Amino acid sequence: MSLGFCRNNYVKIANMKIIIGNWKTYLDSPKEAKSLFEKYKILSKKKNVALMLAPSHIHLLPLRSSYKGKSLSFVAQSLGFSGAHTGCTSARQIKETKVDMALVGHSEERARGLDDEGVAKKVQEAHKSKILPIIIVGEHKRDSEAEHYKFVRKQIQSALKYYPANKPLKFIIAYEPVWAVGAAKPPSARDIEMMMIYIRKTLVKLFGDRKGRSVPLIYGGSVNSLSAASILSLQEVSGVLLGRASVDAKELEAIISKIK
């Protein structure tokens, strides 16, 4: 089942836990990608799980075109613009491969030079191309002054500044504190919950109660089979974005097994 842009799918997903596997560039060969993909196909059949796969673009196309099922969804790791943009994959090209979701603003992309304005333009381009953006926000560090809340709020406001306020909100917000990506462990469940409540309030302020509450919020950054259950049980958390655990079949299976 693809969450995509279809309204019914979007409503349906609200009752499921979203698990996104961000394969980054962990897998070199198409053979490795194909073999892990087979595992994803099996795991995607589990009830109450919306399993989504974000391979690098070179693996995305063959995997997407070989897939005839409905339970697994595909996500591009990034999207770009059409025209003279060497080395990019445009939102429209992604859409043409029947992929209708994309990560926007991952910290690893921001570290390569993508700024807040670039994120906002990509969100706009995604919307125009009918691709659902998974907008990634998160602070670089935490301090005692709770500046990280303000930082995340500004990232959200900026990412959505071109988003048409009169339209239904078709995006997901992924909170990924940069310091927790690729780290030993995630923040405590309580810290994650506090930030998620804050993000929810930010969305409600921006778009009103009904619309602000319709946006799925997910967490990413060092999620593994030990931390997944407590994170997934948080009220405001609709799912998790996995990096390393997404290319470890055993870990992935263990995480999915926590979903009832």
Given the residues 108, 125, 139, 176, select the one marked as catalytic: 176
- DSSP letter at 134 equals E
CB-closest chain residue to ligand PGA: 243
Q: How many CB atoms lie within 10 A of CB 231?
A: 24
Determine, following the binding rule CB under 6 A, whether residue 138 of this chain makes contact with ligand PGA. Answer: no
Determine, following the binding rule CB under 6 A, whether residue 241 of this chain makes contact with ligand PGA. Answer: yes
Determine, following the binding rule CB under 6 A, whether residue 226 of this chain makes contact with ligand PGA. Answer: no
Q: Residue 41 is encoded by which pair of tokens?
A: 């196909």
Determine, following the binding rule CB under 6 A, whether residue 231 of this chain makes contact with ligand PGA. Answer: no
Report, in Å, the least distance between residue 96 CB and ligand PGA. Answer: 25
CA 199 to chain centre: 15
Given the residues 106, 125, 148, 193, select the one marked as catalytic: 106
Determine, following the binding rule CB under 6 A, whether residue 182 of this chain makes contact with ligand PGA. Answer: yes
Residue in 34, 161, 244, 258 binding ligand PGA, rule: CB under 6 A: 244
Is residue 76 within 8 Å of 103, Cβ to Cβ? yes
Work out the burial of residue 68: count CB atoms within 10 Å of its CB; fewer than 13 is exposed, 13-18 middle, 19 or more buried.
exposed
Determine, following the binding rule CB under 6 A, whether residue 243 of this chain makes contact with ligand PGA. Answer: yes
Restricted to residues 18-47, the positions that interact with ligand PGA (CB under 6 A) are 22
Determine, following the binding rule CB under 6 A, whether residue 220 of this chain makes contact with ligand PGA. Answer: yes
Long-range contacts of 240-245 (CB under 8 A, 24+ apart): 240/17, 240/18, 240/19, 240/20, 241/20, 241/22, 241/134, 241/136, 241/174, 241/176, 242/19, 242/20, 242/21, 242/22, 243/22, 243/24, 243/181, 243/182, 244/26, 244/182
Instruction: Assess whether 106 carries a catalytic annotation.
Output: yes
Report, in Å, the least distance between residue 68 CB and ligand PGA. Answer: 28
Determine, following the binding rule CB under 6 A, whether residue 202 of this chain makes contact with ligand PGA. Answer: no
Determine, following the binding rule CB under 6 A, whether residue 101 of this chain makes contact with ligand PGA. Answer: no
- Show which residues are catalytic: 106, 176
The residue ranges that bind ligand PGA (CB under 6 A) are 22, 176, 181-182, 220-223, 241-245
